[in-house]
Structure 1
């Protein structure tokens, strides 16, 4: 595994570290055209030049649509990055003895991941015919050591249904998990929240956290002709958002049915 370092400019504040963070719903590696192509997905991530990327809709031996691959690890290998995967669903394999069929979220990082937790959120399962809201995994927390800064990076995927009730429960769960950390912890939330910044069910987030979305509310979904901004990055107090954008390259338009979103941040050195 390569070691990733970056020179600190002479004028830089030694108490702070600059990070580029992205969020990307990769649709398991299936592009806007429906074609599974992990080389294209990796190229789309590479051109973001991000230190850390939260991924959503990630397959791990899930099935034929992604060639039964461990998509998170395949991308990490192509990009020479660290990765941790948090399954939402963890099903028995179709063939006895084969790897378990999993689907969830992940975190890619150029920097060391020193710990990782797969938290529960309230969900309505898509794997049963009559689901009820219940705790399920799939809220990833990667603690990353980035040039002297310890950063808690989260990747999440909230409920897609039109009724906001489950998202309301998930936002409440999210805030409880974030509040479990020390007051000085540096926290960055990335995810497909399946709702715009202005949605009432997301409003409780925008006090404890500051979203990058108001700096650039460019739509992110659907990728070809975006109409809605449902992918977001948000940060805890003490983190400065220096800029934000939604890429408009050929790869950003075609590698998934979502476009990635990017935020340039400055975080305090140290942390817990």
Structure 2
């Protein structure tokens, strides 16, 4: 059965130690990294490509079109379609969205989705509803990485998670902030048919210098492609 290692990481708009950031991701050795707060402004293509090179990965989707959500992959993952979603703008608030990449690894199709929901509890539910609609239209097993800005029992996160599995399960380890990680606001969710073989918060020493969030990592088994 096809195996996949996926990480989700809010990189704090690259404000921290970039060398430590690259060290963290390279140590994870992921097949897919779902990034929040990636470059989305001036020279975003060049900056996203540079970030991918630092991580030892390649650009798959995201950046400006998805408002700072970025999907990077290893060479064993083939990307055959991409998309972006922009949530309705609330006047005076930060515009947000989601990135999508349709992928194949070892002949098994899957769709990667990355998003970063609002810090405002009044704004998040509308974004969650838009995301849920988009997820319903996908026809391959889903891997969703997100900074939900909400704990697993929050209403917006619960809505998005309906029909999906939280890779963390009952693991209580927090992901934010790195100096006192009390909150588990970052999540990896997977669709039916995907088995979660392992999950961890990557809190090794360099991660304390790399961002204000810890990355999260899941070891997944994808459903084999049906024959016929």
| Fold match by TM threshold 0.5 | yes
CA deviation profile, 1:218-237 (whole Å, cap 9, x unmatched): 10000122110100000111
Structure 1 pair 119–212 and aligned structure 2 pair: CA distance change class (3 A) = same
CA distance in 2, matches of 1:28, 1:179: 30
Q: Does 1:145 align with 2:104?
A: yes
3-state SS of paired residue (1:58): coil
- Is the counterpart of residue 175 in structure 1 residue 155 in structure 2? no
Residue of structure 1 aligned with 2:51, choices 75, 89, 106? 75
Q: Output the CA distance in 1 between the equivalents of 2:162 and 2:125.
A: 15
- Whether contact under 8 Å (1:82, 1:108) holds in the other structure is yes
Q: Describe the superposition over 1:129-184 as per-residue Cα deviations: whole angstroms up to 9, x where unpaired.
A: x4379xx66310011211211110001000012xx2221111111111011123xx
- Shifted more, 218-227 versus 39-48: the winner is 39-48
**For residues 112-191 of structure 1, what are the structure 2 equivalents within 5 Å?**
112-124=78-90, 130-131=91-92, 138-161=97-120, 164-182=121-139, 185-191=140-146
Relative to the length of structure 1, the TM-score reads 0.75
Q: Cα offset for 1:204?
A: 1.8
Aligned runs of 1:11-160 on 2, under 5 Å? 16-31=1-16, 37-62=17-42, 70-83=46-59, 84-87=61-64, 104-110=68-74, 111-124=77-90, 130-131=91-92, 138-160=97-119
Bigger radius of gyration among the two: 1
Residue in structure 2 matched with residue 255 of structure 1 by the alignment: 210
- Give the RMSD, CA atoms, in angstroms: 2.3
Matches of 1:69 and 1:87 in 2, distance apart? 8
1:218-257: CA deviation from partner (whole Å, max 9, x where unpaired): 1000012211010000011111111111012111222001
The separation in 1 between residues aligned to 2:150 and 2:116, in whole angstroms, is 11
- The answer on whether the counterparts of 1:87 and 1:137 sit within 8 Å (CA) in structure 2 is no
Unaligned 5+ residue runs, structure 2? none
In 2, distance between residues paired with 1:217 and 1:52? 23
SS at match of 1:78: helix
Shift of 1:70: 3.6
TM-score, normalisation: structure 2: 0.89
Report the Cα distance in structure 2 between the residues aligned to 1:71 and 1:251, rounded to whole angstroms: 22
Would the alpha carbon gap of residues 155 and 203 (structure 1) be closer, same or farther in structure 2, given more than 3 Å must change? same
Q: Which runs of 5+ in 1 are unaligned?
A: 1-15, 32-36, 90-102, 125-129
Looking at structure 1, the residues matched to 172 and 195 of structure 2 have their Cα atoms a distance apart, in angstroms, of 18
State whether residues 123 and 166 of structure 1, in contact with CA within 8 Å, keep that contact through their aligned partners in structure 2. Answer: no
Retained in 2: the 8 A contact 1:107–1:140?
yes
Per-residue CA deviation, residues 88-114 of structure 1 (Å, 9 max, x unaligned), is: 68xxxxxxxxxxxxx511001012221
Residues of 1 paired with 2:65 and 2:123: CA distance?
A: 15
Contact 1:117-1:142 within 8 A present in 2 as well: yes
